[in-house]
Structure 1
């Protein structure tokens, strides 16, 4: 088969899967169905590879190219065919509105009803009904995005207004991906509900998908939509539009917003009718996605066409979204909008560096949107080094069964030396937990001076059993009852976790909640004033999420209603009992592919619907080894949960699903491949995926996963009642503050020693009228501070000022060379706010734009694009000249000639004014 013929075969298959009836021109019947694709259709401008008819009228064309052919630029050829339809043939409009270019592997689509129509890659062809819907619209969504009405900002904070306007500007420019960074507690979800409302009401979005990290955050998001009052009429969001929180794998045709997890969405695309809610409870922040060798495969599902959603909002953009799950997002022909408090480099890269809002925790603290925090360190000997239990004849040691919690007393088999990492997993040292809790109790007057009530406190535990032990000891050491301290995890019994969480948020009791990860991300508990870490965290983004639980602001009356002696929430305190603030973190959490990933985490991936050869073989190997070690009792539990299959059979099924010979044989049969040919790579992968999903299906049952994990673990924990722990230290972290102060003192001495020698310091000291710093002067200053004996560094200096007086610092600076100016100014005037030059220039630029608007000036989108670029240049170079407009990046958008075309004779005056108003 030639490459051209192979491409046509693939295109035929994709068209048919999308609901098109494919016909040869010689046998055409445009009434054969709603959508008909006619091969080799003659036109006045040539032959269209495919002419698309919907409901008896021509609507678009498909231009076919062989696999590997670049599609960029092919739009000219297909555009020619859009104009070549004879006038006497039925059509919706001429030129025809829709064009595809496709190799059968890659497909792109252009909608010429949109302003400045631009081709975009799509997963497959739209269904005939989707194109019919588009052609009948009075105005396309992408056109309406350019005409959004003025934002009603009465109930919005400044950062929320900026986020919405910046997003809408990005969407109006037809940018496919936009990322909003807003610090935890600054109202991301409320911002999202606002822009979702506007996109539906004014841009006429058909439907929006709102992806959340886990199920209980979906409930929280639904509540936000339910409480939203329209600023434009007297209705609530849910009174105007249908909001659906998916509990089943079915989308309500009337829904305007669908809230779900990406795990359930993937299950739906696979065509599964059911997906258990238990599989949506765990956060994906700790998903070991590196065990998957490539993104999870997605095949076309006619029940969920690519045009199902116009916009997809991804709340809390954890790394796995852009690793194993990215093809789920790429499936839909939709704008992607990311929301995060802690973007990683990978997240920013996925969103094509289109960060439309950057609002950090530090900025939020400065603006009073967040509160800052202090760290109080509790360190004990056992926490640090572990301990040793000596075997003594006749001395019985408690052993606790992990499943039944039953205790047995027996002698140790041998001396037991345990490390800090084994604490609360293999060995429980009762006195270690007790000493941490007692120290926390006794030091509360020091941590929260003048307070008599225990502040609302959240304790992070390692496991559910660890949480149980902590709850028991907290109640004992504080001398309080059950209501005082509650465990809130997905395994909480009695009251539902959501009800316990609501009580923790709004009532006097519980004062202390203990969790593992259920409240670690996204959950809003504004009265929280204390986070006690009794588990370590290695992931930077996950740790930042956990810290975010404490930073939310709360009005004094609401705080008083739950904590009677708390007049104001001015900050929160991290009580670090494990060194979590001291241990090195990684932005992404690298995991070795096979042995270093725990069976529990492999099971977690399986629960979310992942199916990958590396995952399957790793799990099969674990099960086979485990089968050789098990006693009869856990073996029976596994067989009962699996429907009668043993571990050996489950392992064999897994290995068989990826056996190359078996996969090939099944593919040959399924696709009717002649005996002298091999299946294509796509055919092989399709069959392999089907086989792996079948083999993994038993593990979608939480009971089977639990039975396997319980049997794998040592069924007993040793309870160390003998070791007495000792306190090493308890106090606010002073070492970092002292080191930072020393660095600042050195910097101040440098300024004093060089104020008459370095030009930049002379200008900053004397502040002459209208004197302007030159970039060369700033470069000289930056180089001077790096030389011995001072050997200073701008980023380290910035961090030092943050450590000593965080309330005086706005943002993480020091990365740009020109930030050294801000550092000098702050050192000369410590009462001033330390803010990056970029931040300063941005604020002055916004003020200048507002001033221009007040004078009646209005800038076009192209003019704003140029003004933004000029502002960015000034922020990094302190000044701009007309000659600069022929250099990067301006030469990429037309250079000096384009600038004159846009601004005319006003160009020189605008540059001079921006230099004067913005430059540091």
Structure 2
């Protein structure tokens, strides 16, 4: 028993699923979910403090705006207002070059000085950006007395030693933080990969799970600032963030709808590229296209031609005579087909036109600094060699900047690219696609397509940075100043739809059973091993503990481990590292890489020599196919019509419901407003919304609302109410919020848009393809979305599932799904 004169300061409410915590000393005590209980030492420290952190947030003085841009002032004041209201998440949109990091350091300093923040975590996108951020803290001058931030507070990059007690700011990547929480080692190179690259490889990856780690308690940070909020932050790494009892603040130049949803739609400042160009914080850009016949139309290699076959994984080449014509599309170039003359044509055209069409007022002596985005490391190497040859220059004129050259060499090359007049062209894949500033850059050339719109914007952003005239002329002497940059589009990147998925599947036409048999008989091709690993991961997710135990008993190890070894064992960079270690050399030869590959494959595939294991896997795969009853419950009303008064009452209640739930109507918000453990599919979320409609005080059935609109606005209502609960609600929301002028069955809207979409396509689909497209259309009409996973269920699995879909549409499948999801529903 506790008397009223001595109330408990800390209150916890817990079930076996969740824990809620409330500090009664806060200005407006509010319960919040926490991953674990706070440590007793922490509670003791809090009790000794005169005020709580949330109380001290209320006492932050007005911002000293001297030396700050308007966008930075808006960002700091907006964020502080959000923190004062104890909003758990906030998002700042600031264009590339607008000073996101400087703004963050300013905010952290104010929280440290005026609110006594215990510790802040500053999450960066990749390791080299962490080192850049540390320099920003070291160079930041506090406004009161001119001292540097690091003279007042300790700032450190997270390493194996962990977090020191006296550290005020910890800088880390999310990968490094996870390794510390989980106790798993992380190699240095993994720290150098951007989250946008991780996004492109999360198709089959499960979100990272974390357990409580007493050495890094949930209260380790009061505030987490996430610099560049890519998709993997709230997919793959979400639980790592939600582990901490901390405010989450996102910084990004390119917010997506899902990003905004993750931060509870609390965007405290918006500063776009257009705003930055107007304020002369960024430069604008022009687009110049260089398109070749092979890029647009592909080509045909006739039968009887002797061609080189190049293994991308081992880089081994062999000669082969084609026994049939080989036709390829532009999309296959530098993927399954290498066309050296295509690169030569593009670079030669670039050289011929750069001083006549693109930068006509230059002397022609200094090529504008150019960054070229390649498809992969091999492609980058071919581009580098072609640029040197076409321009008649040496190695110092054009260099490759990728992970393969090594971290130290790459960072030195980046510095050289910024400052040296000699290095005019850099060729990269992903390494400097985000965050890295090359201010003198005037040309960004895309020789690869990019599916992610956010990543594409980041890549474009490399050219937007302004630079003083004096600095600029040190590296480009014949230029008066940087007023723009030019995006050179060689592949249609400015016109293509952007999707966000990448599959590990390379053998869609081969069944899992046959793939296992081929591997058991000696197939060691990297595509086969990777495809099988991909499928086994998907199967393992569906198995129960007993089924996993059956496989482990026969195989000698878990199925998930077998699958992971197949995928990691065929990773190109992993093989290079293995060859480096095996042969004790920094630059292994193609033969050594091949030997490294061969030396491990026999061990990787050993489990599949057991026919009993293959039979068990195939049996379990078939057993785990599911049939889903997609019919939803219906709320029936036997009345044929309503009086005017009753219809108006229904509409009034419906509109009140819309008003009361306006922040929940967006399916993205419904998903991301829930803690990690409680997320559901959007279909389930909207179904839950329907259940809320039926509860007091609304007491509405969606079909009743539909009939009320039919009674009052008959001219705007077309067709009978739809049978599906989900689509019924979507149609009602679109109509009542003004997104649609007509209330019509959702499936009819989808059918009409589907016909328009088919008519707009430049190709004639085959009958079997049209059958599958109609199935995809029906899935969207019934469930408001189509995902790749849906191919594993009725009606798709009855006709071959995902394998059949990939056989019919090939590499275009993901793009078609993405396009139909947007076109049919928008």
Q: TM-score scaled to structure 1, two decimals?
A: 0.57
Q: What are the within-5 Å matches in structure 2 for residues 269-288 of structure 1?
A: 269-272=181-184, 274-286=185-197, 287-288=199-200
What is the distance in 2 between the residues matched to 1:365 and 1:598? 40
Q: What are the within-5 Å matches in structure 2 for residues 45-194 of structure 1?
A: 81=2, 83-84=3-4, 94-194=6-106
Q: Shift in Å at residue 243 of structure 1?
A: 1.8
8 A Cα contact 1:624 1:651, kept in partner: no
Call closer, same or farther: CA 1:235–1:696 in 2, change over 3 Å.
farther
Q: Shift in Å at residue 544 of structure 1?
A: 0.8
What is the distance in 1 between the residues matched to 2:559 and 2:150? 41
What is the distance in 2 between the residues matched to 1:483 and 1:529? 18
What is the distance in 1 between the residues matched to 2:259 and 2:533? 40
Residue 335 of structure 2 corresponds to 425
What is the distance in 2 between the residues matched to 1:248 and 1:259? 13
Report the 3-state secondary structure (helix = DSSP H, G, I; strand = E; otherwise coil) of the residue aligned with 1:121.
Answer: strand
8 A Cα contact 1:698 1:704, kept in partner: no
Question: What do residues 656-685 of structure 1 show as CA deviations (whole Å, max 9, x unaligned)?
Answer: 89752447979xxxxxxxxxxxxxxxxxxx
Report the 3-state secondary structure (helix = DSSP H, G, I; strand = E; otherwise coil) of the residue aligned with 1:375.
Answer: strand
Structure 2 runs not aligned, ≥5 long: 551-556, 579-589, 592-736, 739-826
Call closer, same or farther: CA 1:176–1:277 in 2, change over 3 Å.
same
Q: What are the within-5 Å matches in structure 2 for residues 185-224 of structure 1?
A: 185-224=97-136
What is the distance in 1 between the residues matched to 2:348 and 2:457? 27
Q: Aligned-residue CA RMSD in angstroms?
A: 3.8
What is the distance in 1 between the residues matched to 2:259 and 2:30? 25
For 1:448, which of 339, 354, 359 is the aligned residue? Answer: 359
Q: What are the within-5 Å matches in structure 2 for residues 22-37 of structure 1?
A: none
What is the distance in 2 between the residues matched to 1:629 and 1:132? 65
What is the distance in 1 between the residues matched to 2:278 and 2:538? 54
8 A Cα contact 1:621 1:651, kept in partner: no
Residue 214 of structure 2 corresponds to 302
Residue 597 of structure 1 corresponds to 503
What is the distance in 1 between the residues matched to 2:454 and 2:534? 36
1:225 aligns with 2:137: yes
Q: What are the within-5 Å matches in structure 2 for residues 357-506 of structure 1?
A: 357-392=269-304, 396-403=306-313, 405=315, 407-445=317-355, 446-451=357-362, 452=364, 453-493=366-406, 496-506=409-419
Instruction: Return 448-457 or 649-658, whichever deviates more.
Output: 649-658
For 1:329, which of 226, 231, 241 is the aligned residue? Answer: 241
Q: Shift in Å at residue 342 of structure 1?
A: 0.9
Residue 458 of structure 2 corresponds to 545
Residue 437 of structure 2 corresponds to 524
Question: What do residues 666-705 of structure 1 show as CA deviations (whole Å, max 9, x unaligned)?
Answer: 9xxxxxxxxxxxxxxxxxxxxxxx9788667768978867
What is the distance in 2 between the residues matched to 1:387 and 1:629? 35
Q: Whose strand fraction is larger, Structure 1's or Structure 2's? A: 1
1:508 aligns with 2:421: yes
Call closer, same or farther: CA 1:304–1:700 in 2, change over 3 Å.
farther
Residue 165 of structure 2 corresponds to 253
Q: What are the within-5 Å matches in structure 2 for residues 616-655 of structure 1?
A: 624=516, 627-628=519-520
Call closer, same or farther: CA 1:187–1:300 in 2, change over 3 Å.
same
What is the distance in 2 between the residues matched to 1:113 and 1:403? 60
Q: Shift in Å at residue 466 of structure 1?
A: 0.3
Q: TM-score scaled to structure 2, two decimals?
A: 0.63
Q: What are the within-5 Å matches in structure 2 for residues 315-354 of structure 1?
A: 315-354=227-266
Residue 867 of structure 1 corresponds to none
Q: What are the within-5 Å matches in structure 2 for residues 455-854 of structure 1?
A: 455-493=368-406, 496-586=409-499, 589=500, 591=501, 597-598=503-504, 624=516, 627-628=519-520, 659-662=543-546, 706=573
What is the distance in 2 between the residues matched to 1:462 and 1:438? 19
Call closer, same or farther: CA 1:228–1:623 in 2, change over 3 Å.
farther
What is the distance in 1 between the residues matched to 2:179 and 2:559? 14
Residue 793 of structure 1 corresponds to none
Report the 3-state secondary structure (helix = DSSP H, G, I; strand = E; otherwise coil) of the residue aligned with 1:147.
Answer: coil
Q: Shift in Å at residue 227 of structure 1?
A: 2.2
Residue 782 of structure 2 corresponds to none
8 A Cα contact 2:505 2:531, kept in partner: no
8 A Cα contact 1:654 1:695, kept in partner: no
The count of corresponding residues between Structure 1 and Structure 2 is 571
Q: In terms of Rg, which structure is larger?
A: 1
8 A Cα contact 2:125 2:228, kept in partner: yes
What is the distance in 1 between the residues matched to 2:87 and 2:182? 29
8 A Cα contact 1:461 1:533, kept in partner: yes
Report the 3-state secondary structure (helix = DSSP H, G, I; strand = E; otherwise coil) of the residue aligned with 1:440.
Answer: helix
What is the distance in 2 between the residues matched to 1:335 and 1:378? 47
Call closer, same or farther: CA 1:389–1:623 in 2, change over 3 Å.
closer
